[in-house]
């Protein structure tokens, strides 16, 4: 079924990040938030590839959902045409979409899933293949929403009745099909009657924390305070934080977490101060084919993102800047990985493997 924001969406007063409306893909333009809530309508998978690169849509699960719809879109673009023309267009789209962002594994996971549906129904008429792909994309979106609700429920139980939580980047409804991963835990804790206040890292250079997480939390009426990334250590040392919760772009087989740059120092300082560090991620973010986090490709984005804030250049003309978009947090700093299968604890090789197999491996 299509995502429709006229449906009741408890805990989420925003339209869905990614939705399918009248044969087109509709995205919330996350670059314009929090100042403007603008929806963009895409009818060509190439437009989606550009939108992912330019971060109109971002956040690992949301990128995966968008890519799934992108392949459904590609199939429709080949109509009216033969089944083999549809498959060819879908393959082309898969190749282009795979090239957009290298780190979030949900992108590759969703593309593989849709391609496997396309190949399994290649004997059907072209219209039916396109329809099957759209149905699968709807399933990817719906499963992500349900996974977030489940992991939110598990994670909320780990928080005290009154808690200060610190989060990094945006792992909210905007980064997923809805509800969020790290913010899903916060939403679920509030639904369980807990009193939660959130410290939000601004998350340089793209300011996903300041722009998106603050917007989501304030829209939902969740108490929150913005801090600069460098202030996190001070708060942790002062005992002002009860838990650190962040999302993931990829979780390696050994439990190393690849997430927005700045996550690693945050986790190290939290451990140093005996504050629990929780990674919230659906199983679609787990990549058992990668043995450890240092083997995950880390996206290097334009230095302009560092040298400028908005329209203002903040470094001298000619300054160089490095801009790794993600970092790797070794598993030893992660207290638990919270998934829709439950709360996973070390040793993660074992608990992740069992969770991926569908075996109960967790609390």
Q: Which of 326, 343, 325, 342 is nearest to 334 (CA)?
A: 343
Integer Cα distance of 182 and 255 in angstroms: 17
Q: Which of 144, 249, 327, 340 binds ligand MRU (CB under 6 A)?
A: 249
Residue 172 CB, nearest distance to ligand MRU (Å)? 7
Options 124-132, 149-157, 190-198, 242-250: segment touching ligand MRU (CB under 6 A): 242-250
Identify which of residues 65 and 89 has a Cβ nearer to ligand MRU in the complex. 65
Q: Which of 51, 114, 134, 248 binds ligand MRU (CB under 6 A)?
A: 248
Which position among 249, 256, 287, 327 bears the catalytic label? Answer: 249
Q: Are 363 and 353 in contact (CB under 8 A)?
A: no
Residue 37, phi then psi, degrees to nearest 5: -100, 100
Q: Are 199 and 165 in contact (CB under 8 A)?
A: yes
Token readout for 108 is: 């590759």
Q: Are 149 and 185 in contact (CB under 8 A)?
A: no
Q: Is 102 in the site for ligand MRU (CB under 6 A)?
A: no
Q: Which of 169, 186, 338, 352 binds ligand MRU (CB under 6 A)?
A: 169
Displacement of CA 222 from its chain's centroid (Å): 20
Q: Is 19 in the site for ligand MRU (CB under 6 A)?
A: no
Q: Is 59 in the site for ligand MRU (CB under 6 A)?
A: yes
Q: Is 61 in the site for ligand MRU (CB under 6 A)?
A: yes
Restricted to residues 310-339, the positions that interact with ligand MRU (CB under 6 A) are 325
327 is catalytic: no
* DSSP codes, 71-120: HHHHHHHT-SS-HHHHHHHHHHHHHHHHTT-SS-HHHHHHHHHHHHHHHH
Q: Which of 175, 177, 186, 352 binds ligand MRU (CB under 6 A)?
A: 175
Q: Are 323 and 300 in contact (CB under 8 A)?
A: yes
Options 189-197, 246-254, 271-279, 355-363: segment touching ligand MRU (CB under 6 A): 246-254
**Residues classed as catalytic:** 249
Residues that bind ligand MRU (CB under 6 A): 58-61, 104, 169, 171, 175-176, 181, 208, 246-249, 259-260, 325
């Amino acid at each position: 079924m299509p995502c429709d924001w006229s449906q009741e969406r408890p805990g989420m007063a925003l339209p869905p990040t990614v939705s399918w409306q009248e044969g087109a893909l509709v995205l919330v333009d996350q670059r314009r938030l929090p100042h403007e809530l603008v929806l963009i309508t895409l009818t060509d998978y190439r437009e989606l590839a550009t939108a992912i690169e330019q971060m109109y849509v971002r956040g690992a699960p949301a990128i995966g959902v968008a890519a799934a719809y992108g392949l459904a879109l590609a199939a429709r673009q080949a109509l009216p045409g033969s089944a083999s023309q549809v498959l060819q267009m879908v393959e082309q789209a898969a190749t282009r979409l795979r090239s957009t962002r290298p780190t979030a594994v949900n992108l590759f996971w969703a593309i593989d899933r849709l391609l496997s549906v396309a190949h399994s129904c290649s004997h059907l008429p072209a219209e039916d293949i396109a329809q099957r792909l759209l149905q699968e994309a709807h399933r990817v979106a719906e499963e992500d929403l349900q996974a977030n609700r489940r992991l939110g429920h598990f994670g909320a139980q780990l928080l005290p009745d009154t808690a200060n939580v610190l989060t990094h980047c945006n792992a909210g409804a905007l980064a997923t099909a809805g509800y969020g991963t790290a913010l899903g835990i916060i939403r679920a804790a509030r639904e369980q009657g807990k009193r939660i206040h959130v410290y939000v890292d601004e998350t340089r250079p793209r300011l996903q924390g300041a722009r998106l997480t603050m917007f989501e939390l304030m829209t939902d009426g969740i108490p929150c305070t913005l801090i600069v990334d460098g202030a996190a250590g001070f708060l942790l040392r002062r005992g002002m934080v009860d838990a650190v919760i962040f999302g993931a772009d990829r979780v390696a087989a050994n439990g190393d977490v690849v997430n927005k740059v700045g996550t690693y120092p945050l986790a190290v300082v939290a451990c140093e101060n005996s504050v629990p560090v929780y990674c919230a991620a659906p199983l679609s973010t787990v990549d058992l084919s990668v043995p450890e986090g240092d083997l995950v490709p880390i996206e290097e984005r334009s230095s302009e993102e560092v040298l400028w804030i908005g329209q203002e250049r903040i470094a001298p003309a000619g300054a160089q800047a490095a801009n790794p978009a993600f970092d790797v947090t070794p598993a030893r700093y992660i207290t638990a990985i919270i998934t829709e299968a439950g709360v996973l604890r070390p040793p993660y090789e074992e608990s992740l493997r069992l969770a991926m197999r569908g075996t109960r491996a967790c609390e």
